[in-house]
Structure 1
Amino acid sequence: MISYEQFHLNKENRRTGKFKNVLHPDFKEFGQSGNIYVTQDFPDSISDNSEYEIKHFSVTDLSKESRLCTYLLLNTTKKQASNRSSVWIVFQGEWKLIFHQGTRTEYHF
């Protein structure tokens, strides 16, 4: 599952819009800002030159076709950290991200 998270965060995939390929049609995100986003809220291209590092990655099977991923995400470019949780489900034979939440946290770089 970590490869799916990394695909979603990859700056080239964000720039080309490929990150949307892993989003479920009913995707919802609770952003660090407190705003709620759905798939249609994201532009086809996101300019994000940040480098990210995933730490403390954990996967919990919720069912045969759903998984909860939790991890600490470090934005090493901006020196910011957030706790992340994602719910992935199988949709039309592929893993899709249906829910995501990011909560800013303290981290000493």
Structure 2
Amino acid sequence: MEILIEQEIALHQHEVRTNKTEAKRLLHPDFREVGISGISFDYKSIMAMMEEEEPSSLRIHSQDYECIELSHNVMLLLYKSAFIDNSGNYKHFAKRSSVWVFNGQQWQMKYHQGTECESFEIS
């Protein structure tokens, strides 16, 4: 589902992550995350963290998206990601999963997890 991929990629962008209106639109009020570090976050803590986030020279590359319908209004989005530094080097490879729910008006991310993985071929 293209809208979910577009919204996932939007959340990779600093200007979206630090825009409270956009973040509230994209994240479900019951949002939970388990980060690549293993640390868990809830909606309140992730909103505060994103609001205070400083711009970074790292960019996020993502690929190999797969969308699995769990029910008519719940989708599981799987993909791989890596950070790109200023020199164009890829690092911090991860497999990621997000659960998106349709609230009757729009899709919102309810859960996200990143798990470190070995490097993969960039497409």
Which has more radius of gyration?
Answer: 2
Deviation of 1:92 after TM superposition, in Å, equals: 4.1
Q: Of residues 10, 13, 37 in structure 1, which corresponds to 2:16?
A: 13
Structure 2, gaps ≥5 residues long: none
- Aligned equivalent of 2:67: 59
Contact kept? 1:30, 1:101, Cα under 8 Å: yes
Contact kept? 1:15, 1:48, Cα under 8 Å: no
Name the Cα RMSD after superposition: 1.7
- Aligned equivalent of 2:114: 102
* 1:27-84 alpha-carbon deviations (Å, 9 max, x no partner): 0001111111011002223224221111111001111111000000111126211100
Percent of aligned pairs with the same amino acid: 28
Tell me how far apart the structure 2 counterparts of residues 46 and 94 of structure 1 sit (CA, whole Å).
Answer: 25
The structure that is strand-richer by fraction is: 1
Alignment coverage as a number of residue pairs: 109
Output the amino acid matched with 1:19: A
Tell me how far apart the structure 2 counterparts of residues 89 and 83 of structure 1 sit (CA, whole Å).
Answer: 20
Output the amino acid matched with 2:101: I
Output the amino acid matched with 2:16: N
